[in-house]
Structure 1
Amino acid sequence: MYDAYSQFKEKLGGQDLPPMLVDYEEEIRSYPVWVACAGEHLVGGLILVFSETYTTIANVAVHPDFQGHGLGRGLIEFAQKQAELRGHNEIRLVTHSGMSENITLYSHLGWKEYERSENKVFMTKLL
């Protein structure tokens, strides 16, 4: 997961980048996780949190060598299907305001921004 955010670490110049501060061992123990592999290599990951009424994408990440080929979109679509399987009609995520590429992608996929706080952009999509 860390490699997926490496390009943003330099771009954001030391700004708070929550995915780089996460204890992934703890998240993996606490929440459902799915991974995408190419041969023996881990190239993508998805961590979801299920509440009573909606699903949250806690993390979706794609290794830089595999970005731009639809893997991220596929992981997001998979997350939406997992939400629907649980009877949820809403899915949420939080991204960094400096990750404009991600905000553009989410918007293109039908996500709507519903709040900003400091450097965080809160987005939702009705399913």
Structure 2
Amino acid sequence: MANVLIVDDAKFMRLTLSNVLKELNHTVVGEAENGNQAVELYKSSKPDLVLMDITMPEKTGIEALREIKQMDSSAKVVMCSAMGQQQLVVEAIELGAKDFIVKPFDDNRVKEAIERVLG
């Protein structure tokens, strides 16, 4: 069982991910709607895994990923992106993201990514 931080500016997406995590018996330790909150919540909750949207207001998922990796080089982050964001996904992987999931989410793909990264 892992502690997971969910980061997405869309409440519906956070809810969707939260439901998948509960099915897998993981605990959602926090939810953030932008990159600034993500970095703060990462510091305070020290999650085992972060599921993070790439496109968000205030601070993007890429910027937040960069900061989280500077704080904790072993951070496990899975990026979530809309179709057509290949360049950003490549950048995220280069910065240390462990995997990515494309929206709209396929529950099985989400589960696969989580299990692979935590496994």
Which structure dedicates a bigger proportion of its chain to helix?
A: 2
Indicate the structure (1 or 2) with the bigger Cα radius of gyration: 1
TM over 0.5: no
* TM-score category of the 2 structures, normalised to the smaller one: 0.3 to 0.5
Which of 1 and 2 has higher RCO (CA within 8 Å, sep 6+)? 2
TM-score normalised by length of structure 1: 0.38
